[in-house]
Structure 1
Amino acid sequence: MITFEEILSACERGGASVLTSVTKLQPAAGAHASVSPAKFVERGNSVFAFENRYVDGEAVKCALIDSKQSQGNRGETALQRDIDAGSEVISKLPRMEVEYADGVAFTDLELPHRFADGHFRAATIDGKPATQNEQYRAVRNSTPVDMTALLNTAPIAALLGGWDSTRVNNQLRLPSALTGEIIGVLANQDSESADQQSKRGGARVDPYAMSVQLSATQMQELLDMQRDELSPKLVAKIEEDIKKNKKGTFSGSPLGLGGIPPQLESLGGVACRQIIRSWVLSFASLRQLRFGGPEDANVAGRALLAALGLATIARAEQELYIRANCHLIESEAPKVKLDRRNGESADFEPLTVEAADRILAQAISHAKSQGVADWHGQVLKFDGNPVVLGAAVEETAEA
């Protein structure tokens, strides 16, 4: 396992460029099984993302199984879960938290825009707008020349990236120093990518009746009984249909009554000859950050973020839950490699949570001794804006 001393050395000027962890995966059911890649919206339609990659010395067509953003989010979720579980080391991670009057709370590990998320910007601290709070302003005023405020308040953005894009000026923009992804090399390399957009059928069997036909009055009655449990969009659609056809009949299908014949309509999966998960921790990116002090303090701050990166990778690699119909297993142990510059590298044992946390504990202690960071689980608390709470709407896929 890599050591803290090697991480510290990599954070010095001219040190290693990257650390990588690469794992070969396969469908859990076997090579014959398909897996469901990530889905994206293109001109109103759901599609898979296909790319050309260079794998094992060959240019190949690949499907994006899990994106950089998604892998980063999975790492954050794992960190948050260990914080919630009271992990001794990870619980020391500084973070921001917004809590609403209904008791629901989110941290910058959970909100999509991290320290610059709209939930924080719309919130208050001690009864005043959060955007006027000096500590929060110091975080947003951080620059690559001095990242101390961010490091001690919301450091996950310095590791996984963030952009204060709505601000009129001083828009802090941080590239991701830690990135991950999963790709699948398509089994059929002769077919066009579009031909591999497989479809899956959906159906519903109602044991009482395959078709339930209702009058306008009956449909309205059933709708009113469930109104508070249905999405506003679905309610509006049904009421508009009733208004247009008061004397007609209506299928009970929108309310879950009656069956639905099988039909090929949703994206399915792809067959892959090889599936690869990779993580890249960029020391070159971390070396662009400084913390307003001597070089030893800068190195200590970078090493602290790098150690957090190791802890994130180790946790993200523990679980291979991706999405429905994408069940994967490891074909072999992750291969961890540290760049040694000039074409040389060193191989290490796979990262474990226990070992990564020991390195993180050392990094926390060292950063404190250098006066650059004091991580003790501090949380900057925000009170959620009641306007946001009152305007929240849950939309369902059926709507």
Structure 2
Amino acid sequence: MKDVYERLLAAANLRSTDGAVRIVAEYEPAGGPGATLFPPTVKVNGSDAAGYLRESRYVNGEQVEVVYLDQPQSQANRCEVALLDAVRRGELFVPHVEMRTESQNIPVQMSNLEAPHRSRDAYFRDSLGAKDEAFDETPAGKALRDARAGDYSAYLRLVPSDLVYGVWDSHRKKRIAVKVARAYASSIVGVAPLFGARAAGRVDQLNLAGETVQVTNGGWKGLEGAKAPKGATTARMSEIGHGMIPPSEGIGGVSVTSVQRTATVSMAQLASLRFGTMSEELTAASRALLAAMALLGDRLAFAAPALRLRSGCDLVMVSERLEWVGRGRDGRPVAEPLELASAQEALELFAFAVERAVAAGLEWPDEPLVVRPNASLQKAIDKSFQVDGIGEPEGE
């Protein structure tokens, strides 16, 4: 691991010819080549109808259409969850902020590795510290709030994953808000998609009548042919989960010629990070540590032989290569293998990087920074755990 670390140290500080780490993998559907896969649905511009995100790009020099099976934001979230799972298994520790509470006797927690806007999320803005002060007024909260482009040392100490996956402090009114680009980016696409269709409906084994009923507080009752009282809420039986629903046509997934994942760790982005008055040695070691974290998150999330993106989108890995991407030579790009295929190897590299950064003077906590929701946020959380009447059934 020492040799890999030394090369990563030089690359993350742009002191070598290495400009990035690239990971390229090919998958096929678990059901075999050409089997139907289901991409994430999005609202199509102009109609708000459900559709898939697609674009044209060059693949092997040819212009083809691709459909996104997983976007960079989702891929980053998978890496963050994998890191958090490893932390909770005791395999490593990554400093993070965690909101903890309970509702209806159910433990509730949210870390910056899970929150939509990472450490700058409204969950933490609306939380309290140990002395009942607003999180932004705690020492840690102030340090994160007051960070700036020339000094991200607070993020490095408290929420380093934010510097790997990107963060934007959009929930606080500041003319100059923290905005850090992601150093790690990954996506999965299906090449040359053929778009299918399917029919979805509901079969009721008892064939209950599809009549109109009155929805009550927490239940419903039949009207027996009478009119509903004035102001009452009514619904069809199918809207409350009973009765037959005739099948109707909807989007039905895609069949593709290949499934490709491409991920990169940008050394230029890592080298752009500044940490205030830190020594040059510690700054360099910190950038290498973040690079090692990016590689670890990727290996934890994607090194396995199979990958489940969502229902109807199970993939089996066909091939994968990790490579150093360096300055071109004689008009051709230079790529060399990076021997870091397994999660265990990435864990060893990360542990080595932590050791080197700590030796250079980095102070990392060994416990998460715990906060709890304020009264308004707690009330909103409680409401999410309450049963409040009958909802509409979701489609298949």
TM-score class normalised by the smaller sequence: 0.7 to 0.9
Q: What does residue 192 of structure 1 align with? A: none
| Offset at residue 323 of structure 1 (A) | 0.6
- TM-score normalised to the size of structure 2? 0.86
Alignment-mate amino acid for residue 293 of structure 2: L
Kept in 2: contact 1:163–1:172 (CA 8 A) = yes
How far apart are the structure 2 equivalents of 1:129 and 1:111? 18
How far apart are the structure 2 equivalents of 1:242 and 1:291? 67
| Offset at residue 135 of structure 1 (A) | 1.6
How far apart are the structure 1 equivalents of 2:25 and 2:235? 53
- Structure 1 residues without counterparts, runs of 5 or longer: 189-195, 228-234, 236-240
Q: What does residue 302 of structure 1 align with? A: 287
Equivalent of residue 277 in structure 1, options 261, 264, 272: 261
Kept in 2: contact 1:199–1:268 (CA 8 A) = yes
More helix as a share of residues: 1
Could you report, residue by residue, the CA deviation over 1:127-179 in whole angstroms, capped at 9, with x for unpaired residues? Answer: 01112112211122222322211111011110000000132224100000001
Distance of aligned partners of 1:302 and 1:58 in 2 relative to their CA distance in 1, 3 Å threshold: same
Aligned length: 367
Distance of aligned partners of 1:3 and 1:381 in 2 relative to their CA distance in 1, 3 Å threshold: same
Equivalent of residue 59 in structure 1, options 48, 60, 63: 63
Larger deviation: 54-63 or 164-173? 164-173
Kept in 2: contact 1:98–1:384 (CA 8 A) = yes
Distance of aligned partners of 1:214 and 1:245 in 2 relative to their CA distance in 1, 3 Å threshold: farther
How far apart are the structure 2 equivalents of 1:9 and 1:215? 70
Taking the TM superposition and a 5 Å limit, the aligned residue runs for 1:1-399 are 3-15=4-16, 16-42=18-44, 43-87=47-91, 89=92, 92-102=93-103, 103-125=107-129, 126-169=131-174, 170-187=176-193, 196=195, 198-209=196-207, 211-214=208-211, 216=213, 219-220=214-215, 223-226=216-219, 242=228, 251-265=236-250, 267-292=251-276, 293-317=278-302, 318=304, 320-332=307-319, 334-342=320-328, 343-371=333-361, 373-392=362-381, 394=384, 398=393
Alignment-mate amino acid for residue 141 of structure 1: D
Kept in 2: contact 1:364–1:374 (CA 8 A) = no
Could you report, residue by residue, the CA deviation over 1:54-91 in whole angstroms, capped at 9, with x for unpaired residues? Answer: 1112111100110000000111111111222222x2xx
Alignment-mate amino acid for residue 296 of structure 2: A
Distance of aligned partners of 1:362 and 1:215 in 2 relative to their CA distance in 1, 3 Å threshold: closer
Q: Name the % identity.
A: 28
How far apart are the structure 2 equivalents of 1:302 and 1:47? 40
Kept in 1: contact 2:121–2:171 (CA 8 A) = no
How far apart are the structure 2 equivalents of 1:201 and 1:288? 51
Distance of aligned partners of 1:28 and 1:350 in 2 relative to their CA distance in 1, 3 Å threshold: farther
How far apart are the structure 2 equivalents of 1:182 and 1:99? 33
How far apart are the structure 2 equivalents of 1:397 and 1:251? 10
RMSD: 2.5
More strand as a share of residues: 2
2:261 is paired with a residue whose SS is strand
Larger deviation: 198-207 or 306-315? 198-207
Q: What does residue 224 of structure 2 align with? A: none
Alignment-mate amino acid for residue 212 of structure 1: A
Could you report, residue by residue, the CA deviation over 1:336-386 in whole angstroms, capped at 9, with x for unpaired residues? Answer: 110232332211335211100111011101111111x23343311111123
How far apart are the structure 2 equivalents of 1:142 and 1:80? 24
Distance of aligned partners of 1:386 and 1:200 in 2 relative to their CA distance in 1, 3 Å threshold: farther
